[in-house]
Structure 1
Amino acid sequence: MPLFKRNPFGHYLFLKRIIIQVMGLISHSRYRSFNNLQIEGSDIIRQLPDQNVLFISNHQTYFADVAAMFHVFNASLKGRDDNIKNVGYLWKPKLNIYFVAAGETMRSGFLPRLFAYAGSVSVERTWRSAGQDVNRQVKMSDISNIGKALDDGWVITFPQGTTTPFKPIRRGTAHIIKTYKPLVVPIVIDGFRRSFDKKGLMIKKRNVLQSMVIKEPLEIDYDNESVADIVEKIEYAIEQHPSFLKVLTPEQLAEQEEFIESRSFWGPDNKKKEKNKSY
């Protein structure tokens, strides 16, 4: 790789690599020591193409969610199975990973600007600015920049555009899916809101079980499914549909508990390991 090679946004790849490595080394203990990040779906990451992949996820902090995904993606690509042990996977990180973030957030200080260089596709929010509700048009340059990032590699986006749970999915994500036809991979995270502050920079609580479930890519009929259909599909995929909030019957509760048990990090084998650790 030439020393001064740049990505489509003009960022020097050698600088991006250094930033990812340094920030990765600093943040690694937040998911391995202070708290425990449990992962499911590393094998799915290894099966993905190198470009035009859109990850959709629920959102809990500004930066800790994305940092964890950078760890998990790179560890998975280096053969780690559902773990981020041995931070050596950052020696040659994947450099064409991007994440969609609000421009005002990424301009709010030195650290956010550093994170932005690591892979931010900054967009201007159409519904919120400087803490006030606004109503403005989508900037076409923002949409084209997301398309540019998809052409180059993988893009992480948080379709709700907020860290508040169960907020509506922004229709812009569905428009991007219909326009660029990426492979859409859902991710469901939990525990980050309890372990970090809202920005995801400060550790708020230790010994929290953080989880990241990477799901199989969505089946989408890009030409025939409507924006509303895709929005609903996203809501279910990242487990933010209003039905997840409803009061459950005993039968539904039992089904949900069975579903949760099926996730490896909650399952009987893991509980047995935890029990053995206590002796």
Structure 2
Amino acid sequence: MPLFKRNPFGHILFVKRLLIQILGIISHGRYRSFNELQIEGSDILRQLPDKNILFISNHQTYFADVAAMIHVFNAALKGRDDNIKNIGYLWKPKLNIYYVAAGETMRSGFLPRVFAYVGSVSVERTWRNAGKDVKRQVKMSDISNIGKALNDGWVITFPQGTTTPFKPIRRGTAHIIKTFKPTVVPIVIDGFRRSFDKKGLMIKKRNVLQSMVIKEPLEIDYENEDVASIVEKIEYAIEQHPSFLKVLTPEQIKEEQEYREKRRFWGPDSGKEEEE
């Protein structure tokens, strides 16, 4: 491969690889030392094709969520089963991983611009700008760029467009799914909001249970399902449908506790999580 080979967005792959390795080394301890990351579904990642994959996820911080996913994706592809031990998986990282992010966020300083080079597909939000509510048309170039990224590899998107939980799914995600017909893989994360500040750069609390669950791809009838149906599927898949806010019965609470216990890995002191 030529030293200065570029991806479809003009980024030099050699530079991108180097940035992923450096940032990966810096961030690894945030998921292995200060706070441990529990993973489910690594085997699903290994079964996916190399391109036209759209990951949909709930969103808790600006950058820590994506960084964790890049770790998990590369570890899984190197044969790690639900763990990111031995950071050697970043020696030859997957370079065609992208993530959709707000343009204003990725232009907000030197570090975000570095993160953008790692794989951001920057879009202009149609409903929010500079902390104010706005209404503006979708830029067709943004849609085209997402399609370009899907055509080249894997794309991560946060269909709520915000780190605030249980906000509505943006219908644009459903339109992208109908237009480009990607394999849609849901991911549900938890604990990142308690671990990090809103930007996901500073560690806020330690010994917090962080989790990432990769689910089986959604079954979608691209031709016949309407946007509303796809939006609802996304809501359930990433566990952001309003029904998840319902009051649980004692039996359901017990089942949830038993389920969480199965996923617990920290040891006898792991139940001492701080309350928000």
TM-score over 0.5 for the pair: yes
**Residue number in structure 2 paired with 1:53:** 53
Moved more, 31-40 or 249-258: 249-258
Determine helix, strand or coil for the equivalent of 2:248. Answer: coil
Determine helix, strand or coil for the equivalent of 1:172. Answer: helix
2:85 counterpart of 1:80: no
2:30 counterpart of 1:30: yes
- How far apart are 1:256 and its partner, in Å? 3.6
**Residue number in structure 2 paired with 1:9:** 9
**Residue number in structure 2 paired with 1:225:** 225
Change in CA separation of 1:276 and 1:109 when aligned onto 2, cut-off 3 Å:
closer
Q: 1:241 & 1:2 partners in 2: Cα distance?
A: 47
Q: 1:226 & 1:258 partners in 2: Cα distance?
A: 37
Determine helix, strand or coil for the equivalent of 2:16. Answer: helix
Q: 1:166 & 1:186 partners in 2: Cα distance?
A: 16
- How far apart are 1:276 and its partner, in Å? 11
**Residue number in structure 1 paired with 2:154:** 154
**Residue number in structure 1 paired with 2:189:** 189
- How far apart are 1:246 and its partner, in Å? 1.1
**Residue number in structure 2 paired with 1:130:** 130
**Residue number in structure 2 paired with 1:92:** 92
- How far apart are 1:255 and its partner, in Å? 4.2
1:99-152 Cα deviation digits (max 9, x unpaired): 000000000000000000000000000000001000001000000100000000
- How far apart are 1:257 and its partner, in Å? 3.8
| Aligned residues: CA RMSD | 1.5
2:263 counterpart of 1:265: yes
Give the AA of the match of 2:263: F
**Residue number in structure 1 paired with 2:44:** 44
**Residue number in structure 1 paired with 2:65:** 65
1:147-171 Cα deviation digits (max 9, x unpaired): 0000000000000000000000000
Give the AA of the match of 2:14: F
- How far apart are 1:249 and its partner, in Å? 2.3
Q: 1:259 & 1:243 partners in 2: Cα distance?
A: 19
State how 1:172-211 maps to structure 2 within 5 Å. 172-211=172-211
Q: 1:250 & 1:68 partners in 2: Cα distance?
A: 34
Task: Report percent identity of matched pairs.
Answer: 84
Give the AA of the match of 2:198: K
Aligned residues: 270
Determine helix, strand or coil for the equivalent of 2:101. Answer: strand
- What are the ranges of 5 or more consecutive residues in structure 1 without an aligned counterpart? none
Determine helix, strand or coil for the equivalent of 2:263. Answer: coil
**Residue number in structure 1 paired with 2:170:** 170
- How far apart are 1:227 and its partner, in Å? 0.3
- How far apart are 1:258 and its partner, in Å? 4.7
Q: 2:104 & 2:93 partners in 1: Cα distance?
A: 27
Q: 2:209 & 2:253 partners in 1: Cα distance?
A: 22
Q: 1:143 & 1:252 partners in 2: Cα distance?
A: 41
Q: 1:23 & 1:138 partners in 2: Cα distance?
A: 32
Q: 1:89 & 1:53 partners in 2: Cα distance?
A: 21
**Residue number in structure 1 paired with 2:273:** none
